[in-house]
Amino acid sequence: MSTNTTAKKVKVRFAPSPTGDLHVGNIRTALFDWAYARHTGGTFLFRIEDTDTTRVTDEYIQAAIDTLKWLGLNWDEGPEVGGENGPYLQSQRLDIYAHWAQKFLDQKDAYHCYCSPDELEAVREAQRAANVAPGYNGHCRELTADQIAAYKAQGREAVVRMRMPDGSTTFTDEIRGDVTFDHKFVPDFVLVRADGSPLYTLAVAVDDVLMKVTHVLRGEDLLSSTPRQIRVYQAMGVAIEDYPVFAHLPFVMGQDNAKLSKRNGEVSIAWYREQGYLPEAICNYLALLGWSPGDDRENVTMAELCELFTIDKVHSSPARFDMKKLEAINGDKIRALTLDEFLKWSLPFLNKANVITGSDSEIALVKQALPLIQERIVKLDEVPAMLRFLFVKDFKVEEASLSKVTDSASKDVLKRSLAELTPLTTWNHESIEAALRTSLIEEMGLKPRIAFGAVRIATTGSTISPPLFESMELLGKDASLARISAAIAL
Ligand code: GLU
């Protein structure tokens, strides 16, 4: 079968079934879909596959919408945006699927199947025993009117099943090349449940056709559903040249080489967001999971991704998720923020951690302090701990560092510091540093780590803080001296 390579305007869709928050794997797919649409000047369509009403909730649907927005993966057709092929929630398209299922029945491409779950299980059991491929055995394919009447009289309800002809399906996957499925392993499949609700295979194929999707880029886990979808296109009467092009993205494995799961990194994007990962960092990192720009660069902006993303640069071998690399990229993206951007991203974390209440004076001080930590953090959730000392009302030295300021050598350092700093008339990091260096390092002969360590703990409460002299400048003379006095008294 030839694939559709004519110069038709590209339309790519992202079609999640939000049965939970979107995860790394979903978002990698969304990102590649989006990037391909943007690269080709095509359309990015977003469709919610919510026909499984027992598992998809309104809350998860909204979370999926919010996540795409937060990541900057804007769509041209879909929820909230609309478009000429809507509605974009499959739960609002049930009449469309019912129409096609009926048409397939009328055409004899599909048939009613009255087999009960117990009977189907017995068939599977027999297949297992005989060591043959599992799947529906075609029992109801050619029922007579009498047999149907008898089943109905028993009160049986029917599902609608698609008839798979003998033979095989071959299609060209843009990443994997030609892929063939022998229909021996693609048994007749259910299109509509007994309660009338459509199954994924029916809805996805009907929608891809009606919504004029040209490219299906999605995870490799869906590769095996492709022959069934192609069967639906055939039954719909779609010409081969109008089938979408398929490209199945490689699996994402965890660092331990096992399939990505909660245990090895496959947590929701909401979690990464709470941890203080920037959307650009997540997108940059996910872009490199199974794709490369053609050189070994690791820093890719969204604009570069759009410019460079082509399917031929997607790998066919599995990608490996590496949390350390994601962290490193996040640190790079934080360093690349302007001060105003860094402020915008940091404030919600400071508010949430109750470090600030959000007053103008607090925000002004945060803005002065942020440049001190921009080089030092890799995630935004580190900001509150780093800056808390500037705002805290009942300041205390952290428990773990107490012993490092209460010994007699530290007390000597603090007493000398207090004596040298008290007379300073100009309070800035240069004057503070000069005073402390002369007295503690040159005159007392201490190592900087020992000398400044005690002062750091006394004034910021912790061994980890922004640079000391700048921190003391921002804290102010009165508070700095009061904290040093308090530490001496500990
Ligand atoms: N709704 C399907 C899923 O979330 C994906 C549909 C598709 O990409 O074909 O698994």
Residue 306 assigned ligand-binding role: no
Burial of 296 (0-12, 13-18, 19+ CB in 10 A): exposed
DSSP 186: S
218 in contact with ligand 1, CB cutoff 6 A: yes
- For residue 87, whether the previous peptide bond is cis, meaning omega lies within 30 degrees of 0, is yes
| pLDDT value at residue 115 | 97
The residue whose CA has the least distance to atom 7 of ligand 1 is 15
What is the signed CA dihedral for 425, 429, 430, 435, rounded to 10 degrees? 60
Distance 77 CA to ligand 1 centre (A): 17
Q: Is 426 exposed, middle or buried (0-12, 13-18, 19+ CB in 10 A)?
A: exposed
Residue 262 appears among annotated catalytic residues: yes
Ligand 1: which atom is nearest the Cα of residue 13? 8
- pLDDT on residue 261: 74
Look at residue 461 in the predicted model and tell me its pLDDT.
Answer: 96
Q: Would you state the pLDDT for residue 410?
A: 95
Atom of ligand 1 nearest to the CA of 229: 9
Establish whether 283 is an annotated binding residue. Answer: no
Query: Domains along the chain?
Result: 11-78+200-251 (3.40.50.620), 94-192 (3.90.800.10), 269-335 (1.10.1160.10), 339-390 (1.10.8), 399-488 (1.10.10.350)
Q: State the pLDDT at residue 2.
A: 43
Alpha-helical segments (H) within 83-199: 94-106, 117-130, 145-153
pLDDT of residue 280: 97
Q: What is the model's pLDDT at position 1? A: 46
> What is the distance in A from the centroid of ligand 1 to the CA of 49?
7
* Tokens representing residue 410 in the block: 């530290």
Q: Is residue 140 annotated as involved in ligand binding? A: yes
Mutation test residue for ligand 1: of 23, 28, 49, 249, the one with most atoms within 8 Å of CB: 49
Q: How many separate helices (H) and strands (E) can be counted in the chain?
A: 20, 11
157: number of Cβ within 10 Å: 13
- List of the chain residues with pLDDT < 50: 1-5
Dist. CA 177–CA 174, nearest whole Å: 6
Q: Which ranges of 293-428 would DSSP assign to H, the alpha helix?
A: 302-308, 323-335, 339-352, 360-373, 383-391, 403-406, 408-421
Q: Is 167 exposed, middle or buried (0-12, 13-18, 19+ CB in 10 A)?
A: exposed
Instruction: Consult the annotation and say whether 379 binds a ligand.
Output: no
Q: How far apart are CA 470 and CA 376, in angstroms?
A: 14
Q: What is the pLDDT of residues 184-240, one digit of tens each?
A: 999 999 999 999 999 999 999 999 999 999 999 999 999 999 999 999 999 999 999
DSSP assigned state of 298? -
What is the pTM (predicted TM-score) of this model?
A: 0.92
pLDDT at 268: 87
Check if 213 has its Cβ closer than 6 Å to any atom of ligand 1: no
- Tell me which of 108, 262, 352, 447 is the catalytic residue: 262
